[in-house]
Amino acid sequence: MEQPRRIVVVGGVAGGATAASKARRCCPQAEIEVYDQDEFISYAGCGLPYFIGGYSPNWRRLLARLPEQFEAKQNIRVFLRHRVNSIDPANKNIRVADLEGVSESSIDYDRLIIATGASPFVPPLSGRELEGVFVLRSLKHALEMKSFIDMRAPQRAVIVGAGAIGLEMCEALRRLGMEVHLVELADHVLPPLDADLTGEVGEHLEAGGVHLHLGARVEGLEGRGGAVARVATSQGELDTEMVLLSIGIRPVSELAQRAGIELGDRGAIRVDAAMRTSLPDILACGDCATTRHLVSGRESWIPLGSTARKQGRAAADTVSGGEGSFPGVLGTFILKAFELTLGKTGLSPSEASDAGFDADALTLEDSVLPGYYRGGGRMTARVTVDKVSGRILGAQVVGDYGSQADKRLDVFAVCTGAGLTASDLSSLDLAYAPPYSHPLDIPIVAGNLAEARILGKECTCTMEGLED
């Protein structure tokens, strides 16, 4: 396939900005333009809670690259505050509205990359329009919230939704001295993890001053003088001065759908491994696009910044005339909630059963360093194993912030993605010294236990050693 003369990217941040940058390296002679209706094109979206909480008070440090830098360094023209209203696949052009000048123009393309991302899900609650009610998805959202906090100095806040952003914002707002109430419809925080693993997390949040309201449904927001003053829930009313709706996100795929592009899981744009959509010369990447789960093999929508960047690179390879390839994801994530680290990779036991595996799970809990060496903390790991093949299907971790739970989760992620078995896990040659781990670190112990369980052997195993 010959290289295109004109590449147009719709959307920026992780997926779109990465795709444009990689396309420039692959197509040095092509015209490349990026259109985004936002005010910023490339920034660290995952850093927003830490900016609001004061860990990184200068918001400009979140900016990865300015439009002027794209043009000066890579000859990529960036048009901010420009909304793409429609795509005409037959004539290979898009209709773009200049949101500042209120004008519309037609832009031709040879190949088009859609990276429209995802938007916060906001249920039709009464009082949603009140002052002091926020979502947090973009840098603009973060700046609006930070400005409100600086000007109004709220003392009480309600966070709706105990997912990753909700938990990170609990810490951020508590750090600012607010009384924080966390409302979650499920019966435990961080629903992607097994409920019994997150009991400790709930206790830890409460110890950090967060008031939990689990199994509670938000029924409406009430105001006073145009500002939010109360949250009505199924468990009662909560007085407040600000509200963060962190219920979830949805793929922004309406533009693609109107153009006749096929949608997939949860309404995201269906793509193949090369990021091609159902229409020729149109690709998609990032939080608006589907992917494949590497364990279940199913089409999935798992929006993560790291995934968006990888998909952006694959889209650029394909749009440049090559054959990009993004094999899929495990859905690996990790987050910090006060002094705990929480994370997951692959499938939980229930997800594995739903995917057709005859799955088993084993849970380990111990200190991560030998008893004679100070520090380290404790962590719990739950590993999902296929009882037939012994294949590692996934893992969940909950550990003290100093336990290096991230290191252990990464080991599980690599093993899960590579299709390794419990026997492979038990044979890993991991780095060992007392300041870092036990002689048999948690992943190795997990492999020993899983192997013994699959083979039907009696086994007593600790971090210090293994006894058959």
Q: Which residues are catalytic?
A: 46
Q: Is 37 buried (19+), middle (13-18) or exposed (0-12) by CB count in 10 A?
A: middle
Decide: 249 and 302 in contact? Cβ < 8 Å: no
Distance CA 5, CA 163 (A): 43
Closest listed residue to residue 223, CA positions, set 145, 137, 125, 151:
125
| H-helix or E-strand spanning residue 77 | strand 76-80
The tokens of 464 are what?
């210090």
Distance CA 23, CA 316 (A): 5
The tokens of 377 are what?
């903390």
Distance CA 383, CA 368 (A): 16
DSSP result, 174-237:
HHTT-EEEEEESSSSSSTTS-GGGSHHHHHHHHHTTEEEEET--EEEEEEETTEEEEEEETTEE
The tokens of 309 are what?
């960047």
Neighbour-count burial for 39-77, b at 16+ CB within 10 Å, e otherwise: ebbbbbbbbbbbbbbeeeeebeebeebbbeebeeebebe
Closest listed residue to residue 116, CA positions, set 43, 11, 15, 19:
11
